[in-house]
Structures are given as structure tokens and as C-alpha cells.
Amino acid sequence: MTDSVPVPGSVSVADSVSASASDPGDVPGSGVPVMGPPGPDGRFGDFGGRFVPESLVPACMELEEAFAAAWADPSYREELGAVLRDYGGRPTPVTECRRLSEELGVRVLLKREDLVHAGSHKLNNVVGQALLTRRMGKRRLVAETGAGQHGVAAATAAALFGLECTVYMGELDTERQELNVFRMELLGAEVRPVRAGSRTLKDAVNEALRDWVATVDHTHYCIGSVMGPHPFPYMVRELQRVVGDEAREQCRALLGGDDPDVVVACVGGGSNAAGTFAGFAPTRARLVGVEAAGGAAASDGIPGVLHGMRSLILQDEAGQILEAESVSAGLDYPGIGPEHAHLAASGRARYEKATDAEALDAFGLLARTEGILPALEPAHALAWVVREAGRAVPTGATVLVTLSGRGDKDVAQVRELLAAGRDTGRDDR
Amino acid sequence: MIALEPWLRARRDEGRKLLVPYLMGGMSDDWVESLQAVVAAGADAVEVGIPFSDPLMDGPVIQRAGAHALDRGATPARVIDDVASAELAVPVAAMTYYNIVFRMGHRRMARSLRAAGIGAAIVPDLPLEELDPWAAEADAAEVATVLLVAPSTPQPRVARICARSRGFVYAVARMGVTGERESLGSESADVVERIRQVTDAPVCVGVGVSTPAQARAACAAADGVVVGSALVRRLLEGGGPDAAAELVGELRAALDES
């Protein structure tokens, strides 16, 4: 592990972005920066790359150049920062959970991405990509969504910047998240239900990519997580690192200059976790990603190629992709962002699982002890803390959990599950 | 095994337009008979899909055929064995997605194809930059890796792709996924023209070529066509080997008139 990594002083966003091989975030002895830029072929260690049809290769190259230019351009960064501040409500606070901490015997801090406009961390990403879309002279966004959080965020950004927006959503998810479909439509987006395959997030990604192949001259694929072909995983992580960079400074203010002992975030594709981890990779904090037990690609997946990236993927022995199954539509994804696969392989982060039942319990616990309804996705991160308090998280330790979104979207579903008295626990597999 | 490129070159040089029908492996009980029927009806080579759960480059018809094949228990090994048993008189190209190749292993896949008499492979989500590990094993097994050129491909890249493509060069007729379209689209001739500038290898147009008229129009510039969705749709609708042979016969006649 990397407990001996030296703790750098306060690092600004700009400094962190230009992380080089001499960055203090290096894994000791490896010479490779932790969460620096990927290699020239878009690789994070053995993972990443650009496995897309030839039709899309030029668009990925154009995007790579456009993002590099924008990210190095102070005017882009200023505009992004101003929109996230004046429109999005950043910075979001870190909240000390007094009653929950007392109950668990560990000190729990929450990074409150549930307070971002539109209800989740997804806005950080879509504002960045919408600004980039405008820079590239394109007029339309296409997006995939699982729980609907990213779809709502993309529709929000499209409305804000006057872009057309089409959101692909698995038919099963449109049923589970009916209200979010209506939200997207209110925001002016067109929602197209996807009836292929498992009718969930992975199929929505397929369909969004198929749309993009045909419309790439005027459309940007506003991907929702740290996945897909290079440069998407890198770009989305950079756009989400504001979560980790803010949280690190806020934790240091709260903890007398110290960092939390453990930093925890839920992982579907893994964008809120990547953004959070990017801020804490150079610190002594243990990094823990929590997956839904029914879709735990980091724990149960094997190397493969899906949606343009080489990563850890749930698949059968012939290479057919398996269907993830979780109470949380946002974690129903059979893969994981390639950088997470790399962080798992290098040992810098660990990936754990929480069951549907544990997540539901944590959802209720946070509501009762702190007056906060978390989205079901980060309820998995909380569930791991609840389960491991006094075990993997020693009594008295300080834990930061990224509360990636608010639970309003899940209230109807939680009511049904609780009313049905359904045993939603699944065997870890 | 019949090597693809010399075979196609020889036929082209005789003035014949090349017809390459596509079938999804394992999509029905009689799919091997359909394969044999399209060869008898005038195919110059055949492309056989090895089904993948998440076929990014394919439209609804081929998606449905692939899902159907998987539901019926199709596996890469079984499809490859079926092709071997068909003892076809023309070259065969396997078309699949990279995860299938990656999972089986580059060497094992290349050798399995070769052993089954499948002399070529098309892996549409394996672009030039990611090609080497597979291509090294494919070359060693004398399996030709056919590469695609898209309307969006810049010209210097067209040259690099054509230099690395084996068997033929696959000209993607339009930006989009496979499927039948009302018209061929204007980009097709331009892509073929740009390929011609850098190679004398056979050039076949695919993606959206479905009718005899479209095939003939595409062959005004190209050496041949790949026809998938139109054929696969007939089979999905319950037409067996006879229906497959009928469409291929119509396509053959249209190309021979041109």
C-alpha cells in the first residue's frame, strides 16, 4: 500500500492537472504518477485504450485535442468554474455527521454532491462537456443514462447552453425512474427507451455510441462516466476532480491540516469515485470504491473490452457480456472505468461490495440520523462504512464519503421495496 | 483453406464484380445450409458473424440475429466448427468483435480460424492503433485481417490503413451502423476513390448496401459489395436457404449486368 506517500502541501486544481512523473502522488518506486494523465495510447497501466470502429476514431482524436486545448486554456477553466459556482452551487460543503458518527463509532464526513444543482455530481461533468461541445462547433448532445442522474444533468446543460439533447435510457430503467424521464422531457431533451439486451445502462451506452457514429459531424457524445474510449475516461475524471480537490482542502480545514483515514465512494462506471480519488491520491488516505454486489466488475470482472475500453468486465468464458443487477440503476453496469481497474491492480484503491439490502438500510439510517436522503448509489458507499465500522474502518477513524447524489429520485422505489418487505439481499457473487 | 486476397484479385482481374454475403453464425438450425446456398447462388466469398452480446457497429437486424444465435447457444467455437463442416468452395471471413477475440486469446483464435479453413477476419472495433497484438498472430496463422476505411477517415490515415489491410479493403459506405437504407448515399463513391488513390487491393463496399440496384451502383466505383442486413432479415423472417439463395441470385445478376 501507499501509506508512505509523502503528503504534499496545498495543491491547486491547476497544479494537480499538470501532474508529472515527479508528482508527489507517485507510487513509491514505480515512477508512475497516481491519477496523472494516461499514456499516449490512452492507457492507465494495462487498461483503457480506444477500441472503437474506424468511423469514430477521428472524432475521438478531435475530442482528445479539443479537451487538451480547453483544459490548458484559462478562459475555459474560468468559464467552467464560474458556471459551476453561480449556476451549480459549488463549492459543495463537507458535512460532519454527528449522530451517525456516534452510532457507528467512526467519524463520518460527507462530501455533499447531493447539493449540486440538478441533484448530483453529474453536473460537473456535463457543464465541462457542454462548453467543449460549443468550442468544437457542435450543436447536439447525445447521452446515456442509467438512474437518470446523468440524463437529467445532460438535459440541464443542454438547456443552459442551447444545445439539442437526446438521451438513451434502458427501457427497464425508464420504468424504474419514470419521474426522471419526465424531468428530462421538461428540460427539453428527447428520451429514447432502449429495448435491446438487458434494457439497462450498458444497452443505453451501445445505443448512444450507435447514434454518435451516424451524427458525429454535429453531435458530441456526452458520456456520463469515466468510461468509454480515450479520451473520455481521462476527460471525465479531470472534470470530476473538483469534488476531490475541494474535499481535500475542506477536510484539512476540519481536521487541523490532516487528511481522512479512509475515503469512500460508490462505483458504477466510477466518475464520482474517480473525481474524489483524484483529490486524495497524493495523500495517505486509503481509497475505497464500493460497487453494487450484483454488478461488481472490479471484484468479479475479468479483463475484457467493452464500449471502447479495456477494463475489468463481467462476462462469460466466451466473452459475452453479463447483465449487472442492482436495486440502483446507476450501478447496473457490467464494467468499470479503466483507471479504476488500474488503481485496483496497483493497489492504490480497493474495491468492495454492498448488497441491495445493505444499501437500503444505509439509506434509512442516514435519513433518520442526519436528515439526508441519499441516492441509492452512494447509499452503497455508506453501507460499506456502516458494515465495516470497527472492522476495516477502525473505531475512531475518520471517513470521508462522497454523497454523489440526492435520494429524491429513489423515494418511490424505496417505498415499494420497503412496503413489499422484499428481501433484496443477494448473494455476493 | 482458400486465401482471400489472391482469390478476389483473380476474379476482379477477370472483370467480375465481387459479391460477399454476410450471415450470422448459429442464427438458425439450417444456417449452414443457407451458407452453402449463398455460395451456390454466386457469392465470391462469405462473411460469417460470430455473435457478440454488444455489437456496437450493428443495426437492429444484425443485433437481433446475434441475440437469437446466442439464445440458441451459439459460441465462437461452435460457429467456427460449423463453418469447417460446411466445406465451402469460396473463401470465408469471420466477422466478430474484439472481446470475443481477446477472451479466446489472439493465438488460439487465429489458429482456430485457420484450422477451420477461415482465411480472414474482420474485427470492426479494433482500429489501427490497437491492431498489433492480434495482427501478429493472425499474420503468423495466415489469417488475413481486413481493415475498414470510413467516410470520416482522413487521407493520410487511409493510406496507413490500406497498407495494413489484408484480403481486401472494406469501404464503409456511410457514417452509421449496419442496416438497410433507402439509398446508397453519396459518401460511398468518395471513400472508394480515396482508397483507390493508395492501393490496388480489392475494395468492397458495405454498411447500407442491400438491394441489387444499390449493389450495382456501389460497384460503379468499387470492386464488390458486402450485403448483410438484407439477407439476415430474410432469414429472421423465416426464409430458409432458398430465400437466401434467391436474394443472392438477384444480387449476382445485377452485378453481372454492370
Q: Average pLDDT, stretch B41-67?
A: 97
CA distances, A187 to each of A89, A117, A152, A172 (Å): 19, 14, 8, 21
Bigger pLDDT: B79 or A409?
B79
pLDDT of residue A323: 85
Count of alpha carbons within 13 angstroms of residue B185, beta-carbon side? 22
B100 touches chain A (CB under 8 A): yes
CB-CB neighbors (< 8 A) of A43 in chain B: none
B103 touches chain A (CB under 8 A): yes
pLDDT of residue A422: 52
Q: Average pLDDT, stretch B112-141?
A: 98
Q: Residue A16: which of A2, A34, A28 has the closest Cα? A: A34
CB-CB neighbors (< 8 A) of B49 in chain A: none
CB-CB neighbors (< 8 A) of B147 in chain A: 54
Q: Average pLDDT, stretch B73-90?
A: 97
Catalytically active residues of B, by annotation:
47, 58
Alpha-carbon span A148 to A113, nearest angstrom:
16
pLDDT of residue A24: 39
Closest chain A residue to the Cα of B127, Cα to Cα: A54
DSSP assignment string, A77-112: HHHHHHHHHHTT-PSPPEEEEHHHHHHHTSEEEEEE
Total Cβ atoms within 10 A of residue A76: 17
C-alpha cell at B137: 498472430
CB-CB neighbors (< 8 A) of A64 in chain B: none
Q: Average pLDDT, stretch B168-191?
A: 92
∠ at Cα A206 (B175, B234), nearest 5°? 70
A318:B75 CB<8 A? yes
- Residue B184: band (very low, low, confident or very high) from pLDDT cuts 50, 70, 90: confident
B132 touches chain A (CB under 8 A): no
Q: Tell which CATH classification among 3.30.420.40, 3.40.50.1100, 3.40.640.10, 3.40.50.720 matches the domain A47-76+122-221.
A: 3.40.50.1100
Contact assessment for residue A152 and residue A189, using Cβ atoms and an 8 Å cutoff: no
pLDDT of residue B130: 97
Q: Over the stretch B205-243, which tens digit does the pLDDT of each residue have?
A: 999 999 999 999 999 999 999 999 999 999 999 999 999
In a domain, B155, yes or no: no
Backbone angles phi, psi at A356, to 5 degrees: -55, -45
Residues in Cβ contact with B219 at an 8 Å cutoff, skipping those fewer than 6 apart: B17, B205, B225, B255, B258
In a domain, B188, yes or no: no
In a domain, B106, yes or no: yes
pLDDT of residue A179: 87
Alpha-carbon span B249 to A213, nearest angstrom:
32
pLDDT of residue B219: 97
Verify cis geometry, omega within 30 degrees of 0, for the bond prior to A91.
yes
Bigger pLDDT: A19 or B24?
B24
Cβ contacts below 8 Å, chain A against chain B, sum to: 120
Q: Average pLDDT, stretch B60-82?
A: 97
A54:B99 CB<8 A? no
C-alpha cell at A166: 437526446
C-alpha cell at A260: 481522512
For residue B183, give the amino acid letter: S
Calculate what percentage of chain B has a pLDDT beyond 70. Answer: 100
From the list A53, A57, A305, the residue facing B99 with the nearest CB is: A305
* Domain count across chain B: 1
Q: Average pLDDT, stretch B135-156?
A: 98
Closest chain A residue to the Cα of B176, Cα to Cα: A214
Q: What is the three-state SS of chain B?
A: CCCHHHHHHHHHHCCCCEEEEEEECCCCCCHHHHHHHHHHCCCCCEEEECCCCCCCCCCHHHHHHHHHHHHCCCCHHHHHHHHHHHCCCCCEEEECCHHHHHHHCHHHHHHHHHHCCCCEEECCCCCHHHCHHHHHHHHHCCCEEEEEECCCCCHHHHHHHHHHCCCCEEEECCCCCCCCCCCCCCHHHHHHHHHHCCCCCCEEEECCCCCHHHHHHHCCCCCEEEECHHHHHHHHCCCCHHHHHHHHHHHHHHHHHC
pLDDT of residue B137: 98
CATH of region A89-119+240-419: 3.40.50.1100
* CATH number of the domain within which B90 lies: 3.20.20.70
B108 touches chain A (CB under 8 A): no
The C-alpha of A103 sits at a distance from chain B's nearest C-alpha, in angstroms, of 45
Residue B219: domain span: 11-146+208-257
pLDDT block averages, 10 residues each, chain A of length 429: 38 38 41 80 97 97 97 98 98 98 98 97 98 98 92 98 97 88 97 90 94 95 98 98 98 98 96 98 98 93 98 97 83 93 97 96 98 97 98 97 94 90 47
pLDDT of residue B186: 83
pLDDT of residue A324: 84
Q: ipTM of this model?
A: 0.96
CB-CB neighbors (< 8 A) of B59 in chain A: 210
B54:A307 CB<8 A? yes
Alpha-carbon span A20 to A223, nearest angstrom:
26
Query: Domain locations in chain A?
Result: 47-76+122-221, 89-119+240-419
Contact assessment for residue B83 and residue B92, using Cβ atoms and an 8 Å cutoff: yes
Edge-to-edge strands, sheet with A286-292: A94-97, A107-112, A398-403, A262-266, A286-292, A349-354
Closest chain B residue to the Cα of A59, Cα to Cα: B152
